[in-house]
Amino acid sequence: MTSTSTSASAGGGSASPVPPGRPRQSMIEIDQLHKFYGPFEALKGISFTVRSGEVVGFLGPNGAGKSTTMKIMTGLMPPTRGSVSIAGHDVLDEPLEVRRAIGYLPEIPPLYPEMTVRDYLSFAAELRGVPRARRRRAVDLALERCGLTHMAQRLVGNLSKGYRQRTGLAQAVIHEPRVLILDEPTVGLDPTQVIEIRGIVRELGEERTVILSSHVLPEVQATCHRVVIINRGLVVADGPMDELLSRESHGGVVASLRRPPEELDPLRQLTAVRQVQRLGEQEFRFFLEPGDDVRERFVAGLANSGYGLIEVRAETATLEEVFRDVVLEEVPA
């Protein structure tokens, strides 16, 4: 029922994946998280919920508090105030239950340079409680998933940065956790690797809950159902990808005209047009009147106008624009 997201993984289309439409309970609940590092308040009351099966992009500029939030989610450090519960278990009260449910890729992959990739993953599987009988298969599967099979006998310390990152990711998924917490999983990877990782995340996201932080916005736009953006320790945007994108787009239509009029006025007179902006020599942005069939009427009118319509497209916002908007709102440029 979620075939759209798998088939799109290789192509990396621009449409954001549709969340699977099944009843889902919340897997991650973050409530009013505050964190002080000494006198410095890194988190100022972060709250959001992630439902089972969602793939959530966790965004924010450097120093926003993403890694801090993720460390608190894994029980590596306590919040100063507030609570986190994962798969129904409070991080402070039932840390072992929480740790059984999660796979975690920290910002710096936790690798032993003196071990081979296979040994390392086998150790990770053992630590995550994968029974001995299933360990070898789990390691093989993780190697394959992360494109590491041919590197299995290499020493981790001799791997390139991208392969280290993959090894870190393989470690996080080895026990097929219900909740995956990935702190910048695609950092240091080349574009093909990024697409592969995107595939892995999606594949896992079919069954599992994933929260991943990233600075690569097109990446997030292509992988995640939902986005939570934080800035300076506060949530500044939170919602389904489609919703955020459509909120940001101005509802404009951009058209290229071979023979545009000298002035903007004649364009303003066209059917269904409310406002016009000049974007370039031949390019204009039209804001239309509200209504269901306005685009249809507008395009028909424009085509018959004699200005030589050669291209027309509806404007959709990119995640970059959303990000810039919500983050810059806070920080005066």
Ligand X SMILES: Nc1ncnc2c1ncn2[C@@H]1O[C@H](COP(=O)(O)OP(=O)(O)OP(=O)(O)O)[C@@H](O)[C@H]1O
Binding residues for ligand X, rule: CB under 6 A, are: 37, 40, 42, 60, 62-68, 107
Amino acid occupying residue 66: K
Nearer to Mg ion, 184 or 248 (CB): 184
Query: 304-313 burial, b if ≥16 CB within 10 A, otherwise e?
Result: ebebebeebe
Quickly tell me which residue has 């086998």 as its tokens: 122
Instruction: Tell me the one-letter amino acid at 183.
Output: D
Structure tokens at 247: 């909120």
Q: In angstroms, rounded to a whole number, what is the distance separating the alpha carbons of residues 5 and 241?
A: 14
- Pick from Mg ion, ligand X, other proteins, none: which does 68 bind, CB < 5 to 8 A by kind? ligand X
Q: Out of 16, 67, 167, 256, name the contact with Mg ion by CB under 5 A.
A: 67
Which residues 112-141 are close enough to bind other proteins by CB under 8 A? 112-115, 119, 123-124, 126-129
Rounded to 5 degrees, what are φ and ψ at 119?
Answer: -60, -45
88 binds other proteins (CB under 8 A): no
Q: How far is the CB of 28 from ligand X (least distance, A)?
A: 17
Distance, in Å, from the CA atom of 296 to the CA atom of 197, rounded to the nearest integer, reads 40
* φ/ψ of residue 106, rounded to 5: -70, 170
Among 24, 44, 100, 285, binds other proteins (CB under 8 A): 100
Query: Looking at beta carbons only, is 41 or 107 nearer to Mg ion?
Result: 107
Torsion angle in degrees (nearest 10) through CA of 319, 325, 330, 331: 100
Nearer to ligand X, 68 or 74 (CB): 68
Residue 314 touches other proteins, criterion: CB under 8 A: no
115 vs 195, beta carbon nearer other proteins = 115
Which residues of this protein are in contact with other proteins, per CB under 8 A? 74-78, 92, 96, 99-100, 102, 104, 106, 108-115, 119, 123-124, 126-129, 171
Which residues of this protein are in contact with Mg ion, per CB under 5 A? 66-67, 107
